[in-house]
Each structure stands twice: as C-alpha cells, then as structure tokens.
Amino acid sequence: MTNQSIALQKIQNIVGPQGWIETKGGMEPYLREWRGRYQGAAAAVISPKSTNEMARVLKICNKAGLGVVPQGGNTGLVGGGVPDFPGGDGIVISTQRLNVIRDINPLNQTMTVEAGVILAHIQQAAKDVGLLFPLSLGAEGTCCIGGNISTNAGGVQVLRYGNTRDLVLGLEVVLADGRTWDGLRSLRKDNTGYDLKHLFMGAEGSLGIITAAVLKLYSRPQAKETALCGCANAGNLLEIFQRLNTSVGNTLSAFEIMNRFSLEIAVKHVLAVNNPFENPHSQYALIELSGHDGIRSTLKYILDQALEDGLIADAFIAKSRAESDQLWAIRHAIPEAQKHEGGSIKHDISVPVSSIEEFLTRASDLVEANLPGGRICAFGHAGDGNIHFNISQPLGADTDAYLKNWDTINRIIHDLIVSIGGSFSAEHGIGQMKRGDLKRYKSDVELDLMRALKKALDPCNTMNPGKVI
Ligand SMILES: Cc1cc2nc3c(=O)[nH]c(=O)nc-3n(C[C@H](O)[C@H](O)[C@H](O)COP(=O)(O)OP(=O)(O)OC[C@H]3O[C@@H](n4cnc5c(N)ncnc54)[C@H](O)[C@@H]3O)c2cc1C
C-alpha cells in the first residue's frame, strides 16, 4: 500500500460511510463545474461531520501529500471548487454535513453558523427572529456560507451592506496542517494585531478550510420598493444612479443594469419571466430602495423627474411583493437564459462607477472589431461598478469553434479594463480560470506577498493546489 492509500483508508475510518463517496457516479456532481467548463478527478469525495473530524482529516492529508479541494455548494464560476489533480489522486472535502446553525443572538445581532449551511437557510433563520442577513445572489438556494466567505461573494445588496467580508465578525478555520484556529468572536471592535480572518476570506480555499463563522445581522427595513426603468443609454442610467444616491443615500439597496439583449433572452427562455414594458429599450435599471414607509413616494418623485428630464423612457414601480419578485425574476433569469443562446464568453469585471459608460462603449467596439456578430449580454451590479460583460455566439455559429476565442477575447477585454483602473475579477475570484490574469496584471510586489502568505500557511501545498496562486 502506498502512503496515500493508507491515508485514504484512515480518512474513510474517520468520516464513516455517510461521509465517504468513491464511486464514479456518486462523485460526478462534485467534479463538474456549474457551467460545465471544468471537469476534474479525485480519489474520493469526503464530508466530515464536525470541526474535529475536519482537523484530523487535514492532518493526515498534509502528512501524506494528499491535495484537498474544499467545496460548498459548487456554484463557483471560476473552477475553484473543482479538483485539478493531474493524477486524480487528491480529495474533495465537501462541507455539506457541517450544516448546523449554532447560535442566533438578537441582542448582538449575530448568527454563528457552520460552513455548509445554505445561504437561503441563513436568510430564513434571520427572518424568523425578525432580522436580516443581507447577502443575496442568484445561487442562494444552493451555495453555502463557507463558499460565500471563501469567494468573498458580492451579490445584489453590496451597495448598502458591502461584500461578504463586511458581513463576517469571526471565523473558525482548520489550517493546512490540521490545527484549528478558533476566531469565532462576535466583536465589532477588536484591534489586537493582524486581522487574521481577512486572510481566509476570498482565499478560495487555498489557505485553510473555514468550518464556521459569526455573521452580522441587521434590522429589517420597514419597506422595500422596486422599480424597473427603460433608458436610451447607459449614461442616462448612471445619471439616475447619481440622483438616487444624492437624495436617498444608503436607502438605495440595489441598482442593477441589464442591456436589451440580456432582458429579452431572460423573458424568452425562462418560464414566468415577463417584461412589463411594451416597447424595447437599450438599457434597463432595476432599482430597489429599502427603508421606512415613505420611500415609495420618494422613488416615484425621483423617477417622475427623470421622465420629465428625458433620462428614462419608461418606468414601472412594483405595487406588491409579488410584482417586485417578478422584476427580480428577470434579473435572476439571465445566467440561465444565456445557456439557451449557445456559447458565451464571459467577463466579471469592475470599474469605478464613473467609468462604466466608457467601458461599455469601448468594450462593445472591441467586440465588433474582434468578434463580428457576437451578441453582448451586459448586466450586473452597476451600483458597485460590477458588470458581467458576456458575449453570446453569433446566430448560427458553431459553439465549440466560437468558444475557442475565449482566451483571446478575455485578454482584449481585461487589458482594456486594467487600462482604465478596473479589476478583471470583480466577484467570482481567480480559481483555475484567472490564474494567468493574476500573473499578468498583479505587480511583482503583490504576487510576492501572496506567495509568501501561501508558503507560510500551507508550505506543503495541500490546500486547493492549482488554484489562485
Ligand atoms: C446562478 C448563479 C448566480 C451567481 N451570482 C453571484 C453573484 O451575484 N455574486 C457572486 O459573488 N457570485 C455569484 N455566483 C457565484 C457563486 O455562487 C459564489 O461564488 C458563491 O459564493 C460560491 O459558494 P459555493 O458554496 O457554491 O462555493 P463553491 O463553488 O463550492 O466553492 C467556491 C470556492 O470556495 C472554496 N470553498 C468552498 N467552501 C469553502 C470552505 N468552507 N473553506 C474554504 N474554502 C471553501 C472552494 O474551494 C472554491 O475555491 C453565482 C453563481 C451562480 C451559479
């Protein structure tokens, strides 16, 4: 028996039959990325039931030179949770059995959860005690909080509440060598040296496995108002954003944009998604205000003014929760709808909000020059400067041939984005997909610091090898 097979045997004994999968069919869903772009191999998929089991497993892996890939809901979009072991000899560690909400404290406004709790369950548990956990994204019924923290997920409420790292007060992490760091503090002030939790947030499982977290909860807003506006161009839309920001401040909880193509494919391909407008518009803004009872009249006043000033061509303000959900359904349907339009070359970029219009214009010109017939599906969290700038294949094109342009087009768009002070990965991370970009666009100093951290925390390269750095 090799060292590794002895290690696997010991791990199987620790996690027991309920935490052990080694059949091809059983492992399949854990080895494939949501978009189907990455497919990996592993010796086994294991699911420890406790932090203690996790620590014992990692100690064995580290000693035996067995690579591990942490995995939550496997909804990540850069191949970070899919194994990339050349010989298929590492393991996937799923957090699915670490699924306990350990504590909710309404006075502190905190919730302590294990890493495998599904995001939607956390939102519901907060709601059940009259509070709010504001992180919200299209994959919330499947993704897990450990994955959200490890990718520092963004979503649709960043404008008001920040990214995931802003919602975390404390962490429990099992390190590569099997030691456990208990940093599960519920403190809002704690200036006692380096803030270690930030190392693990956004690290995509490359430095340790998060096993639990203390999350911040918020008061629930009394009222929520949602509107969809149709505009002639992105400039108008940003003018409305500025007006809203100036008048309502952080009552503005979401400002999403969708270009005409993205809205139309959502309506065309996804059941029960409807367009409230009769006429098409070049750009749409989905706006949400969260606050006190009077915000509806404020929203109406601002949109009436924008109509009068010719900034928007049409607006629809939801009159009920159901109508608001219908507007959000359009936005959430876009990722799914793109699949029905054939191959799609994707970018998850961010720029300062003031550069969005410049980016959209210049990037569209580049697509026209380099990918004639490519159909731009641009949508996203415009209030955060984050655009998902995707390009669906020309009508009638061969999908495989089209997708061969992926790297070339990514390079062109990412060069543009970096030249105007933006980021080539706004919220999805690096994973396997953007390692080349990391090397190309980060400075030597930044790369040296990242490598030094990796070496210090994971000298044997046990944690998620082949990812990030
Ligand atoms: C339809 C759809 C919509 C989406 N919308 C958004 C959006 O609006 N904003 C956004 O930011 N993302 C979005 N995503 C991407 C994805 O949902 C997020 O990245 C999410 O946070 C991943 O969580 P997960 O549990 O699925 O993680 P996984 O995919 O399982 O893992 C993601 C990464 O984290 C690591 N990891 C997972 N759990 C742990 C852990 N406990 N400890 C250490 N490392 C761990 C993995 O190794 C991997 O590198 C979307 C995805 C889909 C499919």
Which domains, from first to last, does the chain contain?
3-94 (3.30.43.10), 101-219 (3.30.465.10), 221-340 (3.30.70.2190), 342-427 (3.30.70.2740)
- Is the beta carbon of 209 within 6 A of some atom in ligand 1? yes
Mean predicted confidence (pLDDT) in 281-292: 95
- Is the beta carbon of 374 within 6 A of some atom in ligand 1? no
Mean predicted confidence (pLDDT) in 393-405: 97
Residue located via tokens 């963004």: 154
Report pLDDT for 421. 96
CA distance readout (Å), 327 to 277, 285, 288: 11, 10, 10
Pick from 81, 100, 66, 89: nearest CA to 178: 66
Report pLDDT for 69. 98
Report pLDDT for 15. 98
Report pLDDT for 87. 80
Assess whether pLDDT exceeds 90 at residue 37: no
Probe residue for ligand 1, chosen from 150, 204, 258, 328 as the CB with the greatest number of ligand atoms within 8 Å: 150
Report pLDDT for 169. 98
Report pLDDT for 2. 83
Assess whether pLDDT exceeds 80 at residue 1: no
**348-350 and 386-392 beta bridge pairing:** antiparallel
Report pLDDT for 257. 97
Percent of the chain with pLDDT over 70: 100
Residue 57 CB-density burial (10 A; 0-12 exposed, 13-18 middle, 19+ buried)? buried
Give the DSSP H or E segment for 113.
strand 110-114
Give nearest CA residue, ligand 1 atom 18.
76
- Is the beta carbon of 148 within 6 A of some atom in ligand 1? yes
Report pLDDT for 250. 86
Report pLDDT for 271. 87
pLDDT band at 265 (very low <50, low <70, confident <90, very high): very high
Give all strands (DSSP E) within 163-251, no chain letters: 168-175, 180-183, 208-216, 218-219, 223-231
- pLDDT tens for 407-456 read 999 999 999 999 999 999 999 999 999 999 999 999 999 999 999 999 99
pLDDT band at 331 (very low <50, low <70, confident <90, very high): very high
- pLDDT tens for 77-111 read 999 999 988 787 899 999 999 999 999 999 999 99
Structure tokens at 333: 């349907």
pLDDT band at 36 (very low <50, low <70, confident <90, very high): confident
Assess whether pLDDT exceeds 90 at residue 191: yes
Residue 118 β-bridge partners: 144
- Is the beta carbon of 170 within 6 A of some atom in ligand 1? no
Quote the radius of gyration of the chain (alpha carbons, Å).
23
Percent of the chain with pLDDT over 90: 95
Q: How many Å apart are CA 418 and CA 442, to the nearest integer?
A: 10
Report pLDDT for 332. 93
Pick from 222, 217, 219, 197: nearest CA to 105: 217
- pLDDT tens for 142-187 read 999 999 999 999 999 999 999 999 999 999 999 999 999 999 999 9
Pick from 74, 76, 22: nearest CA to 45: 22
Contacting residues for 29 by C-beta, under 8 A, at least 6 apart:
74
Torsion angle of C-alpha atoms 408, 411, 417, 418, degrees rounded to 10: -170
- Is the beta carbon of 338 within 6 A of some atom in ligand 1? no
CA of 428 to the centre of ligand 1 (A): 7
Structure tokens at 184: 């599960």
Report pLDDT for 430. 97
Report pLDDT for 45. 98
Total residues found in the chain within this entry: 469
Structure tokens at 284: 């749409």
Mean predicted confidence (pLDDT) in 342-353: 96
Report pLDDT for 456. 98
- Is the beta carbon of 147 within 6 A of some atom in ligand 1? yes
CA of 370 to the centre of ligand 1 (A): 31
Q: pTM of the full predicted structure?
A: 0.94
Q: Report the range of poorest mean pLDDT among 1-10, 200-209, 282-291.
A: 1-10
- Is the beta carbon of 212 within 6 A of some atom in ligand 1? no
> What 3 state SS string does 1-58 have?
CCHHHHHHHHHHHHHCHHHEECCHHHHHHHHECCCCCCECCCCEEECCCCHHHHHHHH
Q: Taking all residues of the chain, what is their mean pLDDT, rounded to a whole number?
A: 96
Mean predicted confidence (pLDDT) in 22-42: 93
Assess whether pLDDT exceeds 90 at residue 361: yes
Report pLDDT for 35. 82
Report pLDDT for 337. 96
Assess whether pLDDT exceeds 90 at residue 197: yes
pLDDT band at 115 (very low <50, low <70, confident <90, very high): very high
